[in-house]
Chain A
Amino acid sequence: MTESTLQAVPLEKPRNQLLSRMLSHRGLVIGAGILVVMVLAGIVGLLGLAGDALKISYQSRFVEPSAEFVFGTDHYGRSIFSRVVTGTHLSLLIGISVVAITAVFGVLIGAIAGYFPRLDGLIMRCMDALMAFPPIMLAIAIAAALGAGLLNLIVALGITYTPRTARIVRAAVLGVRNSEYIESARLSGASDGRIIVKHVLPNSMAPVIVDLTFVFAYAILAEAALSFLGVGPPPPVPTWGNIIAEGRDYLVDAPWISIFPGLAIGFSVLGLNLLGDGLRDVLDPRLTSK
């Protein structure tokens, strides 16, 4: 084969290019920045560096935001700053755990449904049934059945968001399943397991990663809503939702009790949404609408 020994045409380097595309996306960078701040705050809270979130002091009840208490204090004289920062690691914990549960089960269920047409109908009808419930109602029902508490909240939210992710995984797998490189792998004798792990999943991940950042944001919002409604971890655990709920009675006189955890939720969700939108633009340019 002397006639044409061809050199590969180097069009672009995939890895570096992806990174530089990420760095040049403003929304993505801001979103990632907010997430970093959250993680740092979470670490600070976890190590107790932001002060004791549970320390009651009747001398300093309802102190307005000041030099001593930057976010003010609540009706027990607890520092809102300490509580919000400590709450960060709980929100992160809930978000990450829900994302992990959703990722594992969503990918597993979605991949099986997408790859094996025979199981598709049954699995997806079950998922549809779960999706037919309003997410918060479903979470309340599950949390009510299992009892209030951090772990149960995570399980409830995980079950709630799994069908969505499964649906996205399934759609991506369906797109990949009929590619010629899958046929080619099958011809080479590859087992279904190998084909799913080596070929199907790596090529279906982009939309899933994007979706999981949104699940993270929804989990934080849902935790706040559920705690507010009283089916989250019981007080005095300083989750953001609990702090807001406790400030409910003093909204007129001491609005800072609810405002600061509210802002924390707002910022986190904004950051995660920016990150998700950015990742979608970068990883999956076809989905981007102008």
Chain B
Amino acid sequence: MTAMTEAATPMSSLLKVRDLRTELGKSDNPLTVVDGISFDIGSNERLAVVGESGSGKTMTALSILRLLPDAARISAGEVNFNGQDLLALSRSRMRRMSGGDIAMIFQEPMSSLNPVFTVGDQIGEAITLHQGLRGRAARARAIELLALVKVPSPERRIDQYPHELSGGMRQRVMIAIALSSQPKLLIADEPTTALDVTVQAQILQLLKQLQQEFGMAILLITHDLGVVAQFAQRMIVMYAGKIVEDAPVSEAFRRPMHPYTEGLLRSIPPLYEDVDRLLAIDGSVPPPTAMPSGCRFRTRCDYARPPCAAQIPPLKLFGEGHRAACIRHDDYEVRRT
């Protein structure tokens, strides 16, 4: 039985992350917020990264784009995008890459849009930057993009300011800006969390449709397993800076191999049936200053046994593209693929 610790590689990987480690704070006493994670995204894949606050999911995305806040830095690892090591790129080449081949949208579209410029100005700026179009041509392209993200009457909307738009419309504008560079990878950090449920459904549908139309990959960061189930093909579950499970969505929902994934799934109240009691996960995520030894989830885990404290369990392959980091399954027949 060999433990396989590499990423389960999809057919053609667009992005390969290897042993990525991101630290926060002073370098003599750093807090590790992303702790040696490895994963891939296929070139036409919708991947969701799931986790609770403090799991490191947003830091992972920011690390890929090298958009980390000043207090944080990448201390080890490799991020390979389309054959290029992003961590080795010069600052100016990286700037062209992010917002170019890789684009990102955020949770709060209001703070990502500049309130003193019209929607058209802001999309136009991106178009000029990435496609070299100016003036009329840029404006025409901006209207096209707005139509593409299904903003009604784009000819009128283009001259409006961000505050004149609803939250859903602003997020559509952000998507239009992201699409202006025809990215190969779109990173979406909780893009629908601030939106109402009916608007969320529309945005998710739009993203899915655009992803298929343009053949891009989407890395969706979310805490909502409902969104994952409806949107993603594969999901990565993060806990306290580590990947604990990585599997095709239907597989992970049907047969979660990590107790944390299982706990998350059980704690969602069902919409169409009555349950007497929710099965909550006890306790809360330990602060980075007081991480337990061995498996980080063991203090909250129903299956925890003494060996769990001994070492950090590595990710093991449990089937076609299904990895999980739990030693509970050691007596389980690990399939080699």
Chain A residues in the interface with B (C-beta under 8 A): 3-4, 6, 9, 11
- Cβ of B83 within 8 Å of any chain A Cβ, yes or no, is no
Check B287 for interface membership: any CB of A closer than 8 A: yes
In Å, the complex CA distance between A230 and B290 comes to 64
Assess whether B287 is in contact with A9, with CB atoms less than 8 Å apart: yes
| Chain A nearest CB, measured from B262 CB (Å) | 18
A6 x B284 contact (CB < 8 A): yes
Tell me if B283 counts as interface (CB < 8 A to partner A).
yes
Contact B287 A6 (CB under 8 A): no
* Complex Cα spacing A65 to B290, Å: 62
When A and B form their complex, which 9 residue pairs have the shortest distance between CB atoms, in order from nearest? A4-B282, A9-B287, A11-B287, A4-B283, A6-B283, A3-B282, A9-B284, A6-B284, A3-B280
A6 to B284, CA, bound (A): 9
Q: Complex formed: what's the CA distance from A4 to B284 in Å?
A: 10
**Within B190-210, which residues are at the interface with A (CB < 8 Å)?**
none
Give the contacts of B6-65 with A (CB-CB under 8 A): none
Kindly provide the distance from the CB of B290 to the nearest chain A CB, expressed in whole angstroms. Answer: 8
13 CB contacts below 8 A, A to B, read A3-B280, A3-B282, A4-B280, A4-B282, A4-B283, A6-B283, A6-B284, A9-B284, A9-B286, A9-B287, A9-B290, A11-B287, A11-B289
CB distance from B301 to the nearest CB of A (A): 14
CA distance A3 to B284 in the complex (A): 13
Residues of A near B283 (CB, < 8 A) are 4, 6
CB distance from B275 to the nearest CB of A (A): 16
Number of B residues, CB within 8 Å of A: 8
User: Which chain B residue lies CB-closest to A11?
Assistant: B287
- Chain B contacts for A9, CB-based, 8 A: 284, 286-287, 290
Shortest Cβ distance from residue A193 to the other chain B in the assembled complex, whole angstroms: 38
The residue in chain B whose Cβ has the minimal distance to the Cβ of A12 is B289
Within the complex, the shortest CB–CB distance from B7 to chain A, in Å, comes to: 33
New contact pairs (10) apart from A4-B283, A9-B286, A9-B290, CB-CB < 8 Å: A3-B280, A3-B282, A4-B280, A4-B282, A6-B283, A6-B284, A9-B284, A9-B287, A11-B287, A11-B289
- Min distance, Cβ A14 to any Cβ of chain B, angstroms: 16
Closest A residue to B285 by beta carbon equals A9
CA distance A37 to B284 in the complex (A): 50
Contact with A along B104-143 (1 / 0, CB 8 A): 0000000000000000000000000000000000000000
Residues of B within 8 A of A4 (CB): 280, 282-283
- Rounded to whole angstroms, the CA-CA distance of A4 and B263 in the bound complex is 15
Distance in angstroms from B167 CB to nearest chain A CB is 21
B-chain residues with CB within 8 Å of residue A11 when the two chains form the complex: 287, 289
Complex Cα–Cα for A219 and B283 (A): 54
A3 cross-chain contacts in B, Cβ below 8 A: 280, 282
Closest to A4 in B: B282
Cβ distance B33 to chain A, nearest Cβ, rounded Å: 15
Q: How far is the CA of A6 from the CA of B280 in the complex (A)?
A: 14
Docked pose: A6 CA to B281 CA in angstroms: 12
Q: Looking at the assembled complex, report how far the CB atom of A117 sits from the nearest CB atom of chain B, in whole angstroms.
A: 24
Whole-angstrom distance between the Cβ of B26 and the nearest chain A Cβ: 12
> How many angstroms between the C-alpha atoms of A11 and B289 in the bound complex?
8
In the complex, what's the smallest C-beta–C-beta distance from A17 to chain B, in angstroms?
13
Q: Contact string, B83-116, partner A, CB cutoff 8 A, digits 1/0?
A: 0000000000000000000000000000000000
CA of A11 to CA of B290, assembled, Å: 9
Closest to A9 in B: B287
Q: Complex Cα distance A11/B287, Å?
A: 8
Closest-CB distance, B54 to chain A (whole angstroms) = 11
Inter-chain CA distance A4–B267, complex, in Å, is: 15
A286 to chain B, nearest CB (A): 15
CA distance A204 to B291 in the complex (A): 35
Complex contacts, B284 vs chain A, CB 8 Å: 6, 9
B34 CB to closest chain A CB (Å) equals: 20
B window 279-332: CB within 8 A of A: 280, 282-284, 286-287, 289-290
